Structure 1
């Protein structure tokens, strides 16, 4: 009887162990299935916007990160430009002045040699200079009193005012309503038959010299509107002075200056500077 009871107890234990093992294996299979099912579910990857490679030519009207990179490079050379990725007038004028300082074609387009030079390390001689030394501030209270009452427009820290009634040019440094006279000199504007255009303009392209229709050589020209320029008095091809008239109307519409003053604007007044001719 005891033997039978013992065998029965052992059988129950074995059955119980076997049942637990089978039950455990069932749970393990279910867990495995859950894991396998879960592993087959993959989240949708976030769509990445394609990144456009930098363009080899950038010009007015372009927008994008490559434009922003050009603006960062211009700021490295001292230019005040917004890093907004918009190739607007502010950036165009800064590029043109950069090109002028590097002896490149001043077309405002970034490509080739311009892009190569923008990647170089700035040096003092080619940096944009926001502050200028005073050459002459004679009668500054008068000219500053006029210009600082105006809502002037300039893409640089420089401004030019021309008074055709006085035949005088005034050069300022600073900002709107805070202009400071740094230089002034006589000029010769257009005659009654070929008057100088009046209004607000900006310094445009520059060049070392050009030849007029009658063969005269005009040195250190700076554009302010179309074919209207600041330039030197007249010389012949041998460098001899032909007409040095200043202080009265004498030109065909341009603003004539003494050689050293034409060179001053050419060297020191950046492209994009505002101009008022009245």
Structure 2
């Protein structure tokens, strides 16, 4: 009898022991789950980074979504820029041309009025125009054959080639190996003592006119390298022609043009266009 009772007590104790272990395990699992959830919440909180506000000034070398937003706005004005969030040369030249068309300082920096104008609705008078009409009666086979046989770089759909031996300027529209001559005219490049630089350049800043050291007025200038410019022949302060020499070397290194041709480049060839002087 005592032996039977002892066995029964031991059995009850074993059952209680297993039951208690089971309950303890359940409590631990709940605690572990809570710990995992807490860690998970902490990790999730760490991954949320605050979005920086758009910068009020954007310039060359900047990167980010606010740069991408500027590039998207430039595309609405017709500029063929990559909306990659990288403020590189392509974007700098597009901003400069945009500023020129809006009568702003052409520094390639987006702030104040430039930023405000980019937010406006594009109008036809300030849109970038990728295609242009042919206005030259010159035989296009020769200059097109030369330029399309070369590797050219341009940040726009325009390209300028200057032939110093011919004293000619050729304006093209299109793309690498697919350039089409749209205009051509005579020029006057630098003399032997002050030669015009040769090489590959890009259209830079522009302006309506400036005064030379000698007091002559040069109209509709377009930069291609430092102080080297395309500009009109020489006028005095009253608008009278001082020196209209074209077709031979006559300048101090700049490229002189007839007034209407200097204005053509000023009005129609965008900033960032490629230039070859040979």
The answer to whether residue 108 in structure 2 is matched with residue 111 in structure 1 is no
Structure 1: gaps spanning 5 or more residues: 1-28
Query: What is the Cα deviation at residue 51 of structure 1?
Result: 1.1
* Preserved contact between residue 137 and residue 181 of structure 1 (Cα < 8 Å): no
Q: Which residue of 1 aligns with 2:10?
A: none
Q: In the alignment, is residue 253 of structure 1 matched against residue 253 of structure 2?
A: yes
Q: Distance in 2 between matches of 1:150 and 1:121?
A: 39
Give the gaps of 5 or more residues in structure 2. 1-22
Aligned to 2:76: 76
Structure 2 match to 1:208: 208
1:120 counterpart residue number: 120
Does 1:97 find its partner at 2:97? yes
Partners of 2:119 and 2:86 in 1: CA distance? 19
- In structure 2, the residue matched to 1:132 is 132
- 2:34 maps to 1:44: no
Query: How does the TM-score come out when normalised to structure 2?
Result: 0.86
1:188–1:257: 8 Å Cα contact kept in structure 2?
A: yes
Q: Deviations over 1:220-260 (max 9, x none)?
A: 00000000000000000000000000000000000000000
- 1:162: how far off? 0.2
SS in 1 for 2:41: coil
Contact 1:232 1:259 in 2 (8 A): yes
The aligned counterpart of 1:152 is 152
Which residue matches 2:167?
167
Separation in 1 of the partners of 2:165 and 2:34? Answer: 87
Q: Where does residue 13 of structure 1 map in the other structure?
A: none
Give SS of 1:67's match.
helix
SS at match of 1:44: helix
- RMSD of aligned Cα (Å): 1.8
